[in-house]
Amino acid sequence: MKELITNLETTEKTNYLLDTCFLIYELENNNTKKLEEFCKKNSVAMISFNLEELEHVSKKISNHFKDHLRKFLKEKLIKKIIVEVHPGNRESEENYVKNIDERLLELIPDHSDAVLIAKAFEIQANVLTRDKHHIYTTILENYEHNIQILNNLPK
Cα–Cα distance, 84 to 37 (Å, whole number): 30
> What are the tens digits of pLDDT across the range 64-94?
788 889 999 999 999 999 999 999 999 999 9
Scored b (16 or more CB within 10 A) or e, 35-56 reads beebbeeeebbbbbbbbbbbbe
Q: Looking at the domain 2-150, which fold is it? A: Rossmann fold (3.40.50)
What are the pLDDT digits (tens) for 18-45? 999 899 889 888 788 999 999 999 999 9
User: What pLDDT was estimated at residue 71?
Assistant: 92
pLDDT of residue 11: 98
